[in-house]
Chain A
Amino acid sequence: EVQLLESGGGLVQPGGSLRLSCAASGFTFTNYAMGWVRQAPGKGLEWVSSIFPGGDRTYYADSVKGRFTISRDDSRNTVYLQMNSQRAEDAAIYYCAKYGTVVTPYHLDFWGQGTRVTVSS
């Protein structure tokens, strides 16, 4: 059974940093790309970032480029999202998700339950 368990959310001040983690199990982690999607309170879904097997291919939404960094540790079956220079508009539930395929069309077939990030002074 695929499981994705996010952690690391919480309250951060504007301009501050936070690192989210997503521990994966139930599938061969090294074979799959992983992504982060966020949802601001009462709003829709926004793709944030993705990382492909091996970690050499990473992609970011324009809204977080240069501030967020995605990484993976295949020895720990974990994907991370380092969030720096936090802004009020970064406040959201952050979902970790697994890619459903190693070829296109890529989609997200399993999602974690999310971790909440609040940005406030």
Chain B
Amino acid sequence: IQMTQSPSSLSASVGDRVTITCRASQSISNHLHWYQQKPGRAPNLLIYAASSLHSGVPSRFTGSGSGTDFTLTINSLKPEDFATYYCQQSYGTPWTFGQGTKVEIK
């Protein structure tokens, strides 16, 4: 199952709303998860099962979608949100990740 994220990168300002999309090559129901990775660090889970917020993750992160199309929205971007974001499907093996979306400071 191929996962395609868009855009590959974006520039945004603190306080902006940012939306990242992820499209699966076939229906994956809600088996879609989002991770954040900062340079030199391990990934951290943000959203699982398309829309469930992982414990401790700020509520400005929201996920939506089902089937083949999914979105991650960051409301009111904060300085610590500048990072790379990955979607990942666990509907079938091999699990696959999107190519990543780098969110940079404008």
State in angstroms the CA–CA spacing of A109 and B88 once bound together. 12
Q: Across the two chains, which residue of chain B brings its CB closest to A108?
A: B45
Contact in complex: A113, B42 (CB < 8 Å) = yes
Q: Which residues of B contact A60 (CB under 8 A)?
A: 94
Evaluate whether A45 and B45 lie within 8 angstroms (CB atoms) in the complex, with A61-B94, A104-B31 already known.
Answer: no
Q: Does B75 contact A (CB under 8 A)?
A: no
CB distance from B21 to the nearest CB of A (A): 16
Chain B, residues 57-96, CB within 8 Å of chain A (1/0): the string is 0000000000000000000000000000010101101111
Q: Which residues of B contact A113 (CB under 8 A)?
A: 41-42
Q: Which residues of A contact B18 (CB under 8 A)?
A: none
Interface residues of B: mostly helix, strand, loop or mixed? Answer: loop
Q: Does B2 contact A (CB under 8 A)?
A: no
State in angstroms the CA–CA spacing of A37 and B42 once bound together. 10
Evaluate whether A100 and B42 lie within 8 angstroms (CB atoms) in the complex, with A47-B97, A105-B31, A105-B90 already known.
Answer: no
State in angstroms the CA–CA spacing of A46 and B98 once bound together. 9
Q: Which residues of B contact A107 (CB under 8 A)?
A: 33, 45, 48-49, 88, 90
Contact in complex: A44, B86 (CB < 8 Å) = yes
Evaluate whether A44 and B99 lie within 8 angstroms (CB atoms) in the complex, with A105-B33, A107-B33 already known.
Answer: yes
Q: Which residues of A contact B88 (CB under 8 A)?
A: 45, 47, 107-108
Q: Which residues of B contact A59 (CB under 8 A)?
A: 93-94
Q: Across the two chains, which residue of chain B brings its CB closest to A104?
A: B31
Which 3 A-B residue pairings sit nearest by Cβ, starting from the closest?
A105-B31, A47-B95, A107-B48
Q: Interface residues, chain B, CB within 8 Å of chain A?
A: 29-33, 35, 37, 41-45, 48-49, 54, 86, 88, 90-91, 93-100
Q: Interface residues, chain A, CB within 8 Å of chain B?
A: 37, 44-47, 50, 59-62, 95, 100-101, 104-114
